[in-house]
Amino acid sequence: MQKHFETKSKLFLYTFAVTAVFYILAGGYRFFNTMYSGDSLLMIYQNDAAWQIAIGRFLQPFIVMFRGGMVSPFLISVLAMIWTGLSAFFLADYLRIRHPFYIALTGAVMVCNITVVAGNATFLPTVDCFSMALFFAVLSVWLMEKKRISFLILGSLSLFVSMGIYQAYLSVAVTLVMLHFLLKATDNPAFKDTAKNLLRYILSFLAAAVLYYLTWKVFQKAFGIWTSDSYNGLSSVGDYSDTGIWALLGTTYRFVFNYFAYPETFI
């Protein structure tokens, strides 16, 4: 096997294939297994559109409407595998990963991590939505790197779609940008160029966030939906009255350390 992929088509085919293989190895049991557990109890019929809008995931009901409310494990698993395979390709291209071994490792990490494993086990009705949100998050930064105004707009729209499906993958987009700048640093770019690139990303992210918030409010107004102030709600976002932001930062890094220092199994 050649050491590096020189064309995008070969990169795509290989990345998608190895990611699909790892997805089947790690979660293939779910293609034909209902396994009623946790949020999988929604599997009989998914009908939680109002709740999804209340917690800011206003695009999920439309995905369910298009896919069908009767949840099929095989359909959802295939869709999730496709979205994850596409995500792996754009991630590899964005981070300039070209060696077959590291591409395979990237695909393995994307499907054999605790988030995907636990999602398949307990959140199957929305696994395809989560995978779709991941795809648009990765696609957004890939588009933003193209620098042309049209691509920046498309990048912001992609991030908006990702947040409208599942907001958590905003952190994936931010992390990818950080890794991208670390890789760029090895080329010793001029500070001015780095600052311009960073500003481009910041403005694109802000545009996506503003569009997301305004669209969410329009959906709430149109359908008479409340803002959830309980589990997964957004009403307290930015409210640090009960704790200090510095304490939260410390706790955040402590969790990262504990995750690697004291690995646990998921039950």
Domain edges within the chain: 8-234
Which tens digit of pLDDT belongs to each residue from 69-120? 777 889 999 999 999 999 999 999 999 999 999 999 999 999 998 889 888 8
Contact assessment for residue 147 and residue 200, using Cβ atoms and an 8 Å cutoff: yes
pLDDT band at residue 248 using 50, 70 and 90 as cut-offs: confident
Q: What is the pTM of this model?
A: 0.88
Cα distances (Å, whole numbers) of residue 64 to 69, 107, 151, 179: 6, 26, 28, 33
Q: Give the whole-angstrom CA distance, residue 116 versus residue 126.
A: 11
> Angle of helix 170-185 relative to helix 127-144, nearest 10 degrees?
40
Q: Give the whole-angstrom CA distance, residue 46 versus residue 260.
A: 36
Percent of the chain whose predicted confidence (pLDDT) is above 90:
54
Q: How many CA atoms lie within 13 A of 115 on its CB side?
A: 13
Q: Which helix (H) or strand (E) holds 200?
A: helix 191-223
Letter string b/e over residues 57-78, b meaning 16 or more CB atoms within 10 A of that residue's CB: bbbbbebbeebeeebebeebbe
pLDDT of residue 182: 93
Residues whose CB falls within 8 Å of the CB of residue 199, separated by 6 or more in sequence, listed in order: none
- From 130, 135, 103, select the one nearest 115 (Cα to Cα): 130
